[in-house]
Amino acid sequence: MKRNLVLNFNFWRTTSLYGFGFLGLRLISFILVPIYTNLLTPSDTGVIFIIYTFLAFLNTLYSRGMDASLFKYFNEKDSSEVVSTSIIYSVKYGACISSLLILFFFFYSDSLSLPFENIFILGLTLVLFCDMISSRCLNILRLLNRPQYYIFSCFFSVGVSLILNVYFINFLKMGLNGAIIAIIFSALFQFFILSPVFFKSLNIRFYNLKLLYKMKKTGLPFIPAAVFLILIELADRWMIGILSPNGTADVGLYGSAYKFGSLIMLCVKGFNLNWQPYYLKGYNQVKFYKIGTLFLFFLIAMATFISLLWPLLFKFLIGPLYWKGGIIIPIISISYVFYGLFILQMPSIYLKNKENWAPVFWGSGLLMNLICNYFLIIYIGYYGAAFSTLLSYMTMSFFLYYKNRKWMPINYNYNLIGIVFIISMAFIVFQYNFNIGPESNRVYFFSIGFSFLYLSLMTPFAIYMKNKL
C-alpha cells in the first residue's frame, strides 16, 4: 500500500513539474501580446502571428513523426541506439529540408513580396532546425525522467525571448525586424542550453539503419495527424473571419475568450508529457484505472471552476469590448475535457501497434470541426465555432473509445466521473441561465458563491477517491 502511494505521488509530482514547464513555454504567447500590440503596428503584429503559424506547420514537416517513434522504441530496443539513431537522422533530415527551403526562397523571394529582409529567411530556417533538435532533446529528457532539466530549459527560453523582444523592440526601436531577430536568437539560446543532451546523444556507433527504417515507418502516420490537430486549433479563427457577419471583430472576441478556455488544454498537454513515457513502459490496468480516474476528476473540476469564475476574471483582466465573448469559455473548457479523455485512451495506439489509425482519429475530429464550423458560424457566429471545437474533440474521444473496446479496453471509473460531470454541468448551466456576465452587479455573488458551493460538493468525491484509489 505504502509503495503504491509513493508511486502515485511520484507520478503526479513529475506530471506537475512537466506541466509547469509546458506552462512556461505557453506563457510567452500571453506575455508577448501586450508588447506587440503596444509597440508594433497592427500590420507588423499580423506578420509576426503569421510567422508563428508558418513555423508551427513547418515544425510538423521537420519532425516527420520521429518523436512518436522515439517514445515507442525507447523501451523496446537499446535506448542508446534509439536515441542516437533519432538524433543523427534528425540532423541529416533537417539539414536537407533547410537547404531546400533556402533554395526555394532564394529563387522566389521577390515574387512572394515578403515584408522583411531576405536575410531573415536564413535565420527562420535556422529556427526550424534548432527547434527540431531542441524538441528531440526535450523528449529525451522526458524519457530519462529529468523534469528539472526540462523545466529549466523551458523557462530559460521564455526568459531570453522576453528580454530580447523588449530590448530589440522597445529600446532599439527595430520594430518587426527586432521581433524576428528575437525569435531567431531565442531558438539558438534554447539549443545552447540543451546542447549537452544533444552531444551526449550524438554517437555514430549506435546509428542503426534497420531501426531507422522502423522508426520512419512508425512515425509517418503521425505527420498528417499533427497537421490535422493544428488545423482543428486554427481553422475556427479563419472560418469565423470569412463566415461570421462581423468578420475579424468576432475573431478578436473569440480569440481572447479562447485563451482562457484553453487553460484546460495546458493541463491536458502538461499531463501528457509524463503520461506518454509512463504508459509506454507497459500496460497496467490497476495503475491506469487510478491515474485516469483522478485525472478526469481533476480536469472536470478545473473546467467547471474556470467556467464559473470567467465573468469575474474578465471584469478585472479584459476590456469591456471583449466581455460578451466570454460566454464561450465554458464550451471551450469542456471541449478540452474530452480531449483529455482522448489522450487517456491513446496507449492502445502505441502498445497495440495501431499507429496507422492516428490520422484517422485526428482526421475525424477535423472533418467534424470543418463541417460544423461551416454550418454553425453562419447562423450563430463565433458561438458556432466553440460548439464545433466541442463536437470535434467528442468525436475523437468516442471514436477511439469505440475502437479500444476491441483493441485494449481501458476501464476508468466512468460511473463516478459521469456523476461528477453531470453535477458540474448543472452548475454551469444554472449560472448561464441567470445571464451573469462581467457587467452584472451579481457577478461577485454568483462567481465566488457558486465556486465555493461547487467546491463543498466536490470535496466528498475527492475524499472518496482518495480512500478508494
* Bigger pLDDT: 343 vs 234: 343
Residues 303/264, Cβ–Cβ less than 8 Å: yes
pLDDT above 70 coverage of the chain, percent: 81
Residue 169 and residue 179 in contact, taking contact as beta carbons nearer than 8 Å? yes
The number of residues in the chain equals: 469
User: Grid coordinates 534509439 are at which residue?
Assistant: 82
25 lies in the same domain as 148: yes
Q: Tell me, yes or no, whether 323 and 390 share the same domain.
A: yes
Query: pLDDT digits over 406-432, tens only?
Result: 888 877 888 888 888 998 888 888 877
pTM: 0.80
pLDDT tens digits, 357-390: 889 999 999 999 999 999 998 888 888 889 999 9
* CA 201/CA 198 separation, integer angstroms: 5
402 and 464 in a single domain? The answer is: yes
For cell 478508494, name the residue.
468
Q: Can you give the pLDDT at residue 34?
A: 64
Assess whether 446 and 344 both reside in one domain. Answer: yes
Domain end residue (candidates: 175, 197, 220)? 220
pLDDT tens-digit map of 169-216: 888 888 878 888 888 888 888 888 888 888 887 777 777 888 888 888
Residue 298 lies inside a defined structural domain of this protein = yes
Question: Using 50, 70 and 90 to split pLDDT, how confident is the model at 117?
Answer: low
Residue 114 DSSP label: -
- Within a domain: 8: no
| SS3 state of residue 425 | helix
Compute the Cα dihedral for 384, 389, 392, 395 and give only its sign: negative
Q: Among 204, 220, 236, which residue terminates a domain? A: 220
Q: Does the residue 6 lie in any domain?
A: no
Mean pLDDT of 64-86: 78
Task: Tally Cβ neighbours within 10 Å of residue 439.
Answer: 12
Q: Would you say residue 11 lies in a domain?
A: no
| Residue 150 shares a structural domain with residue 247 | no
Boundary residue ending a domain (165, 199, 220): 220
CB hemisphere CA count around 405 (13 angstroms): 6
* 238 part of a folded domain: yes
Quote the domain boundaries for residue 173: 19-220
